[in-house]
Amino acid sequence: MSHIVKTSVFFPENVETAQELEGKTGIPEGVIKEKFGLYEKHVADSTMHASDLAVKAAEPLLTSVNPMDIDVVIYFGSPHKDYSVWSVAPKIQYELGTKNAFAFEIMNVSSCFPIALKVAKDMLKSDDSVNHILLVAGCKESQIIDYSNPRSRFMFNFADGGAAALLSKKGGQLEILESSIHTDGSFWEDVLVPAGGSVHPASMETVNNKKHFIDVNNPSNMKGRLDPVSVPNFIKVVKDSVEKSGYLLEDIDMLLPLHTKRSMFHQLLDGLQLSEEKAMYLDHYGHMSALDPLVGLHLAEKENKINKGDIIVAVSAGTGYTWAATTLKWNG
């Protein structure tokens, strides 16, 4: 079996409040709190990058295991890293002193934590030489938001932080059960950073025209296509993941979703027939790419919201568009 032994998070000191966001965006503070579901979020300064946030989050986990016993380091965080066309995983492996581990990254934007759990679980199950895996992630996506661009307003909740999890086949508090993943590639071009890739290489023109910030090509068109399928696809992957694990929707004790606007959060809870007490909502942290469900898991444990025998589901979605869920069982 594959287990999560321990989790850890890290947040930069600087906090940006809803009132400060009102000054940046012109959106009333009350709307940011109630509609966006955001009271405040952490924002990293110019000296801290995705790799630094990931390392800071992972360091406490290495008090529970010898760094030399880590077999694999997997980065699953934001694609907005220290450098473009660059793997962050080797730097993290080096700085953590996990010299015996091989390192790589997987990237599926915000949907990646449930997927990373599946990848790690399958590796632990299939490879006798792999006993301990470190999942690490950093996010500095607050840096790619243009607050003057109304097309990207649904991403004004982007925040910064780090998260990590130590996985083992030799036992731990959380047993990793089954996953479900669904992709609808018809959304592939709706949300992206227009410049910096091979289609529009960086130039003075792309910089001057603010093409290096994340943008939505046609918000109303995307909304018209996404709204009818988004919540049903969330429910689909949660249901499939739970049932493949041998349980039913009514068995869910805790839901760990990505941070979304408050109305979508309530639609998801209604569709799954869950109360707010059975879900983590990161209204004091915002959206941190793939990190959200892991951050929610860490906070739920810290706040004593999980009990022995509980069934927990990490669920997320990433532009492109992919919905993913992985079911966990808390053994304590």
| Sheet containing strand 102-105, strands side by side | 102-105, 72-75, 132-140, 160-168, 3-10, 174-183, 322-330, 311-318, 252-257
CA angle 76, 167, 69 (to 5 degrees): 105
Within 8 A by CB and 6+ apart from 140, the residues are 44, 48, 49, 50, 53, 78, 80, 160
Structure tokens at 41: 């979020």
**Cα–Cα distance measured from residue 171 to residue 209, given in angstroms and rounded to the nearest whole number:** 52
| Predicted local confidence at residue 274, as pLDDT | 98
Q: Does 324 have pLDDT greater than 80?
A: yes
Interior/surface letters 161-192, b for 16+ CB within 10 angstroms, e for the rest:
bbbbbbbbbeebbbbbbbbbbbbeeebeebbb
Q: What is the mean pLDDT of the segment spanning 289-297?
A: 98
**CB atoms near residue 222 (< 10 Å):** 19
**Integer angstrom CA distances of residue 133 from 55, 77, 162, 181, 329:** 15, 15, 17, 21, 18
* pLDDT tier, 192 (very low <50, low <70, confident <90, very high otherwise): very high
Structure tokens at 80: 């907005």
**Cα–Cα distance measured from residue 241 to residue 252, given in angstroms and rounded to the nearest whole number:** 11
Q: What is the mean pLDDT of the segment spanning 306-321?
A: 97
**Cα–Cα distance measured from residue 61 to residue 172, given in angstroms and rounded to the nearest whole number:** 13
Find how far residue 271's CA is from the centre of its chain: 22
114-123 pLDDT, tens digit per residue, is: 999 999 999 9
* pLDDT tier, 183 (very low <50, low <70, confident <90, very high otherwise): very high
**Cα–Cα distance measured from residue 248 to residue 242, given in angstroms and rounded to the nearest whole number:** 6
What is the fold of 3-172? Peroxisomal Thiolase; Chain A, domain 1 (3.40.47)
* pLDDT tier, 332 (very low <50, low <70, confident <90, very high otherwise): confident
What is the fold of 177-330? Peroxisomal Thiolase; Chain A, domain 1 (3.40.47)
| Predicted local confidence at residue 63, as pLDDT | 93
Mean of all residue pLDDT scores within the chain = 97
Q: Does 107 have pLDDT greater than 80?
A: yes
* pLDDT tier, 148 (very low <50, low <70, confident <90, very high otherwise): very high
254-280 pLDDT, tens digit per residue, is: 999 999 999 999 999 999 999 999 999
The answer, yes or no, to whether the previous bond of 247 is cis (omega within 30 of 0) is no
71-84 pLDDT, tens digit per residue, is: 999 999 999 999 99
Q: What is the mean pLDDT of the segment spanning 181-208?
A: 97
Q: Name the DSSP letter for residue 148.
A: T
Q: Name the DSSP letter for residue 6.
A: E
Q: Does 1 have pLDDT greater than 90?
A: no
Q: What is the mean pLDDT of the segment spanning 20-41?
A: 97
Of the candidates 40, 102, 104, 100, which has an alpha carbon nearest to the alpha carbon of residue 66? 100
* pLDDT tier, 62 (very low <50, low <70, confident <90, very high otherwise): very high
| Predicted local confidence at residue 118, as pLDDT | 98
Of the candidates 328, 167, 172, 321, which has an alpha carbon nearest to the alpha carbon of residue 253? 328
* pLDDT tier, 158 (very low <50, low <70, confident <90, very high otherwise): very high
Q: Does 176 have pLDDT greater than 90?
A: yes
**Where in the chain is CATH 3.40.47.10?**
3-172, 177-330
Of the candidates 154, 167, 160, which has an alpha carbon nearest to the alpha carbon of residue 78? 160
Q: Is 82 helix (H, G, I), strand (E, B) or coil?
A: coil
**Cα–Cα distance measured from residue 270 to residue 113, given in angstroms and rounded to the nearest whole number:** 23
